[in-house]
């Protein structure tokens, strides 16, 4: 790697641009977002994501885990003050990167025998990130974020995905338009309900299915609820009142994986 540029001032124009990506308005305007930490940067590099710049702490140097990628793209050394200004964590990571948002691609949503997770108004970034990780782990085809969900590119959401954001399509869409398209293609829309006839273990997940989850407080929106073809219940033997949405999604995803693969 050639001698990198070194930026020391937080008033540098590029620093201002990177720091602005902590704000959704500027992420939407530029079509870029930030990823923080060695693991996320490595996953983005391995996935061939469109990385604009990789910025590392000049005092700590290029992280050992990323040295083999040092010839890829633009690498910039920065002062600890710059690292702190451009990242959303209390302890600045040793590296961050500015990345282009991927282009929307609906093909995976309608793959043969598709298994898709659909989120309707799920606002907690930790839950959304965990669901994306679970969908990735269980081999789902895609995740859909409907209106009212937390911004996919919120730094907290991105960190919570632990890199799974780069492993499967995550689509932001209007469910009022998308769900009827799925139904027209013969895909079953499955929600959860305490009044359901099926448990999540008796439902046939081998058929094309989209799993719909709403917020913990409000559940599915009326229009999404109306679109549901089938409801399932997650049986609970203990005294817990309920599972949070990320836990519920994981249970359903792994039952689908069990039926389809094992």
Region 195-202: what's the mean pLDDT? 91
Split at pLDDT 50, 70, 90, the class of 242 is confident
pLDDT at residue 195 greater than cutoff 90:
no
| pLDDT given at position 1 | 56
By mean pLDDT, which of 28-37, 93-102, 122-131, 193-202 is the weakest? Answer: 193-202
Strands 198-199 and 5-7: what pairing? unpaired
Taking only the tens place, the pLDDT of each residue in 136-182 is: 999 999 999 999 999 999 999 999 999 999 999 999 999 999 999 99
pLDDT at residue 186 greater than cutoff 60:
yes
Given 3.30.1330.30, 1.20.950.20, 3.30.420.40, 3.40.50.1010, which CATH number is that of 5-100?
3.30.1330.30
| pLDDT given at position 89 | 77
| pLDDT given at position 194 | 81
| pLDDT given at position 2 | 60
pLDDT at residue 4 greater than cutoff 80:
no
Taking only the tens place, the pLDDT of each residue in 106-147 is: 999 999 999 999 999 999 999 999 999 999 999 999 999 999
Split at pLDDT 50, 70, 90, the class of 209 is very high
Taking only the tens place, the pLDDT of each residue in 19-71 is: 999 999 999 999 999 999 999 999 999 999 999 999 999 999 999 999 999 88
Q: Which CATH superfamily is domain 107-261 in?
A: SPOUT methyltransferase, trefoil knot domain (3.40.1280.10)
| pLDDT given at position 199 | 94
Q: Where are the domains of the chain?
A: 5-100, 107-261
Share of the chain above pLDDT 70, in %: 99
pTM confidence score: 0.94
By mean pLDDT, which of 102-106, 183-187, 255-259 is the weakest? Answer: 102-106
Split at pLDDT 50, 70, 90, the class of 3 is low
Same fold, 5-100 and 107-261: no
pLDDT at residue 256 greater than cutoff 80:
yes
């Amino acid at each position: 790697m050639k001698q990198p540029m070194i930026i020391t001032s937080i008033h540098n124009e590029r620093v201002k641009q990177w720091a602005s990506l902590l704000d959704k308005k500027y992420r939407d305007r530029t079509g870029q977002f930030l990823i923080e930490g060695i693991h996320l940067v490595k996953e983005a590099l391995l996935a061939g994501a469109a990385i604009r710049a990789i910025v590392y702490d000049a005092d700590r140097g290029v992280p050992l885990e990323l040295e083999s990628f040092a010839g890829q793209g633009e690498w910039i050394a920065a002062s600890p003050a710059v690292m702190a200004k451009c990242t959303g964590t209390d302890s600045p990571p040793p590296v961050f990167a500015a990345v282009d948002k991927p282009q929307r691609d609906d093909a995976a949503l309608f793959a043969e025998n598709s298994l898709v997770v659909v989120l309707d108004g799920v606002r907690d970034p930790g839950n959304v990130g965990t669901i994306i990780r679970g969908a990735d782990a269980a081999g789902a085809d895609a995740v859909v974020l409907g209106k009212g969900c937390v911004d996919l590119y919120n730094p907290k959401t991105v960190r919570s995905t632990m890199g799974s954001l780069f492993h499967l399509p995550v689509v932001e869409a209007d469910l009022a338009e998308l769900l009827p398209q799925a139904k027209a293609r013969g895909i079953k829309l499955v929600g959860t309900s305490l009044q359901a006839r099926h448990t999540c273990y008796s439902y046939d997940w081998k058929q094309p299915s989209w799993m719909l989850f709403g917020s913990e407080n409000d559940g599915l929106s009326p229009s999404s609820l109306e679109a549901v073809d089938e409801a399932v219940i997650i049986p609970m033997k203990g005294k817990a009142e309920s599972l949070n949405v990320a836990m519920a999604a994981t249970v359903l995803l792994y039952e689908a994986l069990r039926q389809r693969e094992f």
